[in-house]
Structure 1
Amino acid sequence: MALPDSSFSVDSSTKYDDDGRIKRTGTWVTASAHIVTAVIGSGVLSLAWAVAQLGWIAGPIILVIFSVITLYTSCLLSDCYRSPDPVTGTRNPKYMTMVKNILGGMQYKLCGLAQYVNLVGITIGYSITASISLVAIKRSNCFHKNGHQAKCHSANYPFMIIFGAVQILLSQIPDFHELSWLSILAAIMSFGYASIGVGLSIAKIAGGEIVHTSLTGTNIGVDVTSSQKIWNVFQSIGNIAFAYAFSTVLVEIQDTLKSSPPENKAMKKATVTGVSVTTTFYMLCGLLGYAAFGNDAPGNFLTGFGFYEPFWLVDIGNIFIVIHLVGAYQVFAQPIFELVESACSKHWPENEFITKEYIVNLPVIGSFRVNLFRSIWRTLYVIFTTILAILLPFFNSIVGLLGAISFWPLTVYFPTEMHLVQAKVPKFSLTWIALKSLAMFCLVVTLLAAAGSIEGIVTELKTYAPFS
């Protein structure tokens, strides 16, 4: 949180909300940008592969089901931002705070564990994805220059290091409230690369190349074995769940909204906008990607075009992905930064290394707040996630596991439980039964998706050699 500037006098009502915190200025438009940035991330790239495992019937149905569930539970979650009343109650600026105030007990600690493990996992996943796109750029240029038979192998880890270096710099942005410009830029990039992927898919389809698709996806005995089919179906469900995962940062996004109109109303509008836009792109990328590549759809569908013409357009698409993930990494990392920094400030309020901020004047940028503890700890965090990304570069399996870990507790269980408590829904009423059934259904889906992803990681570890 920014510190009051005592060097000049300003009407406090213009700088602070009624609870003494810095006045928020976000709108449903900026919140929509944050949501699109968070949702259309690396998840969209695996959807063609996911649809290939599920086929023409189950693929679109599961995409729609996850879209509807995410939209509904996100609206329930937005009503819990203030409690006990959704409009006039006390603000809950963090997901954990919300769970603690509404559900109490140990549940908020379980929520924190699920949320922050997932946030760390997503930042690792984005480091992997960015490196895949950077490698695709290098390889496409190599093939264009030397021919498609050339040996253009390139290791991922140098690009992960480059991505980490950029994140170290951006991580010095003090807090979430100063990230709107980065989210808007990242959202524009996401539209760009998704549109390029859709356009290339249409061009590939129009080219008349024969690919094999089916109502049930990959064929047992032709494309996969029976056991591979089962595990891949489970993993693809996890991939789709991950593609819609933004509940992890929904509360933090809502906390950027100004208090009028009521935050829950603005957030619902932003959620409907964000989920509708992303679902449209997901359908286009998933279905057209499957139509273009068939049952051989690659794990990252944009890199599947990377070795053919027009190489420059594929390069642009992958550049857009990298720029988008630069911003998305920060959207998911900022809650982690804030958790550690606020906890340390609370425990050691007199320690100047932790609490003191220095104003540094930079050309063009202007004044910038620097804190030594913040700078060192955030740098170490980025280094940590980069090293883990280098050690575990399994794109589809990691994406599926992250989706499985986060979807049930954060997108379904806690939002429905808090709604039941805050709205005082009677036990065994129709609404109570419906929400409990939804939670149970999603738990089963989560367990199956996690099993498929873990099996995928174990299989890949058998043949993986780090730094190769």
Structure 2
Amino acid sequence: MDLEKVNDDKELDKWLPITANQNGKWWYSTFHNVTAMVGAGVLSLPYAMAQLGWGPGVVVLVLSWIITLYTLWQMVEMHEMVPGKRFNRYHELGQYAFGEKLGLYIVVPQQLVVEVGVNIVYMVTGGKSLKKFHDTVCPNCKDIRLTYFIFIFASCHFVLSQLPNFNSISGVSLAAAVMSLSYSTIAWGASVQKGKQANVEYGLKASTASGTIFNVLNALGDVAFAYAGHNVVLEIQATIPSTPEKPSKKPMWKGVIFAYIVVAVCYFPVALIGYWAFGNGVADNILISLEKPRWLIAMANMFVFIHVVGSYQIYAMPVFDMIETVLVKKLHFRPSFVLRLVSRSIYVAFTCFVAITFPFFGGLLGFFGGFAFAPTTYFLPCIMWLAIYKPRRFSLSWFTNWICIVLGVLLMVLSPIGGLREIIISAKNYKFYS
């Protein structure tokens, strides 16, 4: 092998955002994972419950929590299964499992759809939260278009996206993780304080059979979107130091367990108490149903805004890593500050443009949730596990993985249908750039 190429790769690794800094602590992985997972999706969980009803709703929530924790454990285990090598990126693991070319073709498009999709949805969410904050604090002020608030959100990222690597955004990530816990607590706390609404109904939201089916599919997509941290888990683990005596999987798994406890503390109370209080009349964002106390709802919307600022960065970092790898390796640009400034600014501008053009929040969640999150979160890790470890047929591991794969494939095929219908319904009375 060419020694110069090896040295070049090592130098490039020191510059690229995922591998530049490998002295992360286990608690970094906790708040990176919380920030990646507990997104604004938590606020749509009562709405998903309203579309599913009590029994199926609780089953879907609990099952998703268990399955995604299991597939996350698989990812953490597979990070260093080849002695002396680390799979620092999702696609590197895919290439090892499926072959150089095929692995890239399978993983990269899905990962990009997820990460770019989340960034677009968060642009919309950030803008909407800021607008809600403005309208709540100042109800008599002149109405400002959502577009301008999305611009404000994007302008934060033109600055923040210049932070070089994962460890450099750990402060932003910590703030975001604290915010997600805060606004989740406000959401269920305010629901408890409001109490069960008069003439609340727990029957299914839709009145027709076809409407019910579409709603159930959309709700499944919403839940899939809520459990979506897997796309960045190997990249987060790449920031933790590792030696043969102390592999990175131990601190990483410790961080993941803490993160999943926080996820449960955020998700279950919001979903169950929100649905209990408002029944099937709950809005697709629980904070919209909670109009009072005004100062508290304004604060919660500000927290959501701060949270999605951090979350956007967590999902953008692997995309920056891919863009910069291609620019340096394939197009032979020199690694430099200017290259970073231009490429990352173009990416932020692109996500901002798409968000301003299509701001249908609820439908977008269902559509992206099923279409892209189900594979990377629910069943790709299982397929890789079967391909690499080849567990004995009909053993517990074999059965567990196949069950996850079947459920994940069903989710991937069915939930985008509900999301697409929701987008079409929203688009009927939508004016571009209003």
What TM-score, normalized to structure 2? 0.91
Greater share of helix residues, 1 or 2?
2
SS at match of 1:251: helix
Residue type of the alignment partner of 2:204:
G
In structure 2, the partner of 1:270 is 255
Describe the superposition over 1:30-80 as per-residue Cα deviations: whole angstroms up to 9, x where unpaired. Answer: 101001001111111101111111112111111000000000011011111
Shift of 1:103: 2.5
Q: Which residue does 2:335 correspond to in 1?
A: 355
SS in 2 for 1:422: helix
What is the rounded CA distance, in whole Å, between the counterparts of 2:97 and 2:209 in structure 1?
46
Q: CA deviation at 1:258?
A: 1.7
Instruction: Determine the C-alpha separation between the residues in 2 that align with 1:262 and 1:64.
Output: 30
Matching residue of 1:395 = 361
Residues 25-424 of structure 1: pairs in structure 2 closer than 5 A: 25-84=23-82, 88-104=83-99, 105-143=101-139, 154-205=144-195, 209-214=197-202, 216-218=203-205, 220-221=206-207, 225-259=208-242, 261-306=246-291, 308=292, 310-349=293-332, 351=333, 354-356=334-336, 371-424=337-390
Contact 1:55 1:213 in 2 (8 A): no
Pairwise CA distance, 1:326: 0.5
Indicate the SS of the match to 1:302. Answer: helix
Structure 2 contact 24–240 (Cα < 8 Å) conserved: yes
Q: Deviations over 1:131-187 (max 9, x none)?
A: 1111211222344x58xxxxx754311100110111111011112231111111111
Asked if 2 retains the 8 angstrom alpha-carbon contact of 1:56 and 1:217, the reply is no
Over residues 358-388 of structure 1, what are the superposed CA-to-partner deviations in whole Å (9 max), with x where a residue is unaligned? xxxxxxxxxxxxx112111111111111111
Larger deviation: 54-63 or 67-76? 54-63
| Matched residue type, 1:91 | R
Q: Contact between 1:53 and 1:229, CA under 8 Å: does it hold in 2?
A: yes
Partner of 1:363: none
Partners of 2:40 and 2:297 lie apart in 1 by 16
Contact 1:80 1:422 in 2 (8 A): no
Matches of 2:32 and 2:261, distance apart in 1: 14
1:432 counterpart = 2:388: no
Whether the 8 Å CA contact 1:212–1:295 is kept in 2: the answer is yes
Counterpart residue identity of residue 254, structure 1? Q
Q: Give me the whole-angstrom Cα distance separating, in 2, the residues matched to 1:94 and 1:65.
A: 27
How far off its partner does 1:83 sit? 3.1
Q: Verify the 8 A CA contact 2:28 2:170 in the aligned structure 1.
A: yes
Task: Please list every run of 5 or more consecutive structure 2 residues that lacks an aligned counterpart in the other structure.
Answer: 1-13
Aligned to 1:8: none
Q: Which amino acid aligns with 1:404?
A: G
Given that residues 54 and 233 in structure 1 are in contact (C-alpha distance below 8 angstroms), is that contact kept between their aligned partners in structure 2? yes
* 3-state SS of 2:201 partner: coil
How many residue pairs match? The answer is 414
State the Cα deviation string for residues 5-39 of structure 1 (Å, max 9, x = none). xxxxxxxxxxx9xxxx6551212211010010011
Letter in 2 for 1:201: S
Deviation for aligned residue 1:251: 0.8
Query: How far apart are the structure 1 equivalents of 2:201 and 2:247?
Result: 48
Aligned to 2:5: none
In 2: Cα distance, 1:421 partner to 1:59 partner? 33
Classify 1:27/1:213 alpha carbon distance in 2 versus 1 (closer, same or farther; 3 Å): farther
**Deviation for aligned residue 1:418:** 1.9
Across the aligned residues of Structure 1 and Structure 2, the Cα RMSD in angstroms comes to 1.9
1:464 maps to what in 2? 430
Q: Distance in 2 between the 1:256 and 1:163 partners?
A: 27
- The one-letter code matched in structure 2 to 1:95 is Y
Q: What is the alpha-carbon distance in structure 1 between the residues aligned to residue 128 and residue 369 of structure 2? A: 19
Partners of 2:226 and 2:317 lie apart in 1 by 20
Q: How far 1:211 sits from its partner (Å)? A: 4.2
How far 1:413 sits from its partner (Å)?
2.6
Task: Give 1:430 deviation, angstroms.
Answer: 4.5
CA contact (8 A) 2:197 2:278 kept: no
Distance 2:72 2:209 in 1: 36
CA distance in 2, matches of 1:293, 1:51: 11
Which structure's CA Rg is the greater one? Answer: 1
Identity of aligned residues (%): 33
Alpha-carbon distance, 1:429 to partner: 4.1
**TM-score between the two structures when normalised by the length of structure 1:** 0.84
Q: Identify unmatched segments of 5+ residues in structure 1.
A: 1-15, 147-151, 357-370
Are the equivalent residues in 2 in contact too, given 1:38–1:246 (CA < 8 A)?
Answer: yes
**Deviation, structure 1 residue 276:** 2.2
Shift of 1:428: 4.8
CA distance in 1, matches of 2:224, 2:95: 26
Contact 2:375/2:412 (8 A) holds in 1: no
Offset at residue 282 of structure 1 (A): 0.7
Describe the SS at the equivalent of 1:262: coil
